């Protein structure tokens, strides 16, 4: 992905987060203020009914109960002097970021129906958009780290270190640099900013970057953190950390793909060697056993003679060659008008058919039409004119 495309996509995601923060703040902040007023009224009523209990003791009791149950901080009410709110602009921005990153800590939840309905459509659009941004940032971040590690590999190769060892060292260095930038450094930052122990801080880092997000530890949820830019900076760390994890998973996938391709190539080579060895052994066994007798020829089955075509009683027309078109012959008389030619045809066809073993065609039984009588020829004398219409 180009740098300009990546920057434009990042600007689009930031604009999407800011717009979502403004909408969530407009929908949820009035309900939060109403709940805080009601909580303050209940607290004051309890203190008036029990004058033996001081305000500090009641606050301490509520805080211990809230910590034991994992609820909201009791100091966030209308009577406290803290200006911290769950729906100020920084917190709403961070909440919108936890939606599109699919972390979803759960320490802050939507209370209105309008906010829940808007959250449905906001997540359906924002999650794919953040996925595209994450892929681009991960590709760019992984390329930068690999480029830097490539210089270190060149130094190792100049020292005549084996290439296999250089690959292992570069992979370990890639993981070490990523863990140092996105795991160890944020751990110490959260220990200082949130007053957490090292175990709590690294627990929050791992739970966040794996998108588990239990919500028992959330950066910026302490009311003492009144900086509006703190939680947005935490979200940018989440973006880079998730991109690094995505690049690590991509590298592992590419490595597994290369290993599987090499394995298939090696298996193909072994199969070819086994086939060659089998052919060699078979040839040697054949040479020792001598030339094998040729297989007996299969007897060809006797095919029946072709069927004899039905012969017509008249003279057949000689077939014309296909390449030369013969002009149509003039119409002839029936075969029965010329018995001599008919008998010649029968004799000629009988010789041919007798050689082929076919039965001769028989003339249909019945009365034949007698030949027409010829007119008598009159003798012509000397000087007598020839009669017209009398054949000579």
272-292, pLDDT tens digit by residue?
777 777 777 777 777 776 555
Residue 42 lies in a domain: yes
Checking if the pLDDT of 76 tops 50, the result is: no
Which pLDDT does position 268 carry in this prediction?
74
Top-confidence range, 23-32, 35-44, 293-302: 23-32
**Confidence bin at 341 (pLDDT 50/70/90):** very low
For residues 62 and 141, membership in a common domain is answered with no
Which pLDDT does position 368 carry in this prediction?
55
Residue 137 lies in a domain: yes
Residue 155 lies in a domain: yes
Structure pTM? 0.62
For residues 135 and 274, membership in a common domain is answered with yes
Q: The CATH number of the domain where 271 resides is what?
A: 1.10.287.70
DSSP state of 86: T
26, two tokens: 């407009």
For residues 169 and 33, membership in a common domain is answered with no
Domain range spanning residue 60? 1-70
Angstrom distances, CA of residue 230 to CA of 20, 115, 225, 247: 18, 24, 8, 26
Residue 387 lies in a domain: no
For residues 63 and 143, membership in a common domain is answered with no
Interval 173-191 mean pLDDT? 91
For residues 248 and 140, membership in a common domain is answered with yes
Which pLDDT does position 343 carry in this prediction?
40
Neighbours of 253 (CB within 10 A): 10
Residue 63 lies in a domain: yes
Contacting residues for 123 by C-beta, under 8 A, at least 6 apart: 99, 100
The rounded distance, in Å, linking the Cα atoms of 343 and 347 is: 6
Which pLDDT does position 250 carry in this prediction?
78
- Top-confidence residue, 23 or 270: 23
For residues 187 and 277, membership in a common domain is answered with yes
Contacting residues for 188 by C-beta, under 8 A, at least 6 apart: 201
- Alpha helices (H) along the chain: 3-49, 55-69, 89-100, 113-158, 163-179, 185-194, 198-209, 230-289, 339-356
Residue 100 lies in a domain: no
Total domains in the chain come to 2
Nearest alpha carbon to residue 13 among 95, 124, 127, 115: 127
- 281 near 289, Cβ under 8 Å? no
339, two tokens: 């018995």
């Amino acid at each position: 992905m180009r740098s300009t495309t990546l920057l434009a996509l990042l600007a689009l995601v930031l604009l999407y987060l800011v717009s979502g923060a403004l909408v969530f703040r407009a929908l949820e902040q009035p309900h939060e203020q109403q709940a805080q007023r009601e909580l303050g009224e209940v607290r004051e009523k309890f203190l008036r009914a029990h004058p033996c209990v001081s305000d500090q003791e009641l606050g301490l009791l509520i805080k211990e109960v809230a910590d034991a149950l994992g609820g909201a901080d009791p100091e966030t009410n209308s009577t406290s002097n803290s200006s911290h709110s769950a729906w100020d602009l920084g917190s709403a921005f961070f909440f919108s970021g936890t939606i599109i990153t699919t972390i979803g800590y759960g320490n802050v939840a939507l209370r209105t129906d309008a906010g829940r309905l808007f959250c449905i459509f906001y997540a359906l659009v924002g999650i794919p958009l953040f996925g595209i941004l994450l892929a681009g940032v991960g590709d760019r971040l992984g390329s930068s780290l690999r480029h830097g590690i490539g210089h270190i590999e060149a130094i190792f190769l100049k020292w005549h270190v084996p290439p296999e060892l250089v690959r292992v060292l570069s992979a370990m260095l890639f993981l070490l640099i990523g863990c140092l930038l996105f795991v160890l450094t944020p751990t110490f930052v959260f220990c200082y900013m949130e007053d957490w122990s090292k175990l709590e801080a690294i627990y929050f880092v791992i739970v966040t970057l794996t998108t588990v997000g239990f919500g028992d530890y959330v950066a910026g949820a302490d009311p003492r953190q009144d900086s509006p830019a703190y939680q947005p900076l935490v979200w940018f760390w989440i973006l880079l950390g998730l991109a690094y994890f995505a690049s690590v998973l991509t590298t592992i996938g590419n490595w597994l793909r290369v290993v599987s391709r090499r394995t298939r190539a090696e298996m193909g080579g072994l199969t070819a060697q086994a086939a060659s060895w089998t052919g060699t052994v078979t040839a040697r066994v054949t040479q020792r056993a001598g030339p094998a007798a040729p297989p007996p020829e299969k007897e060809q089955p006797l095919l029946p003679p072709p069927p004899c075509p039905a012969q017509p009683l008249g003279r057949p027309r000689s077939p014309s060659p296909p390449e030369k078109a013969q002009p149509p012959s003039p119409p002839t008389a029936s075969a029965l008008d010329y018995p001599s030619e008919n008998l010649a045809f029968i004799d000629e066809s009988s010789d041919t058919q007798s050689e082929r073993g076919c039965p001769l065609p028989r003339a249909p039984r019945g009365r034949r039409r007698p030949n027409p009588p010829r007119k008598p020829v009159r003798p012509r004398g000397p000087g007598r004119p020839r009669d017209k219409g009398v054949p000579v």
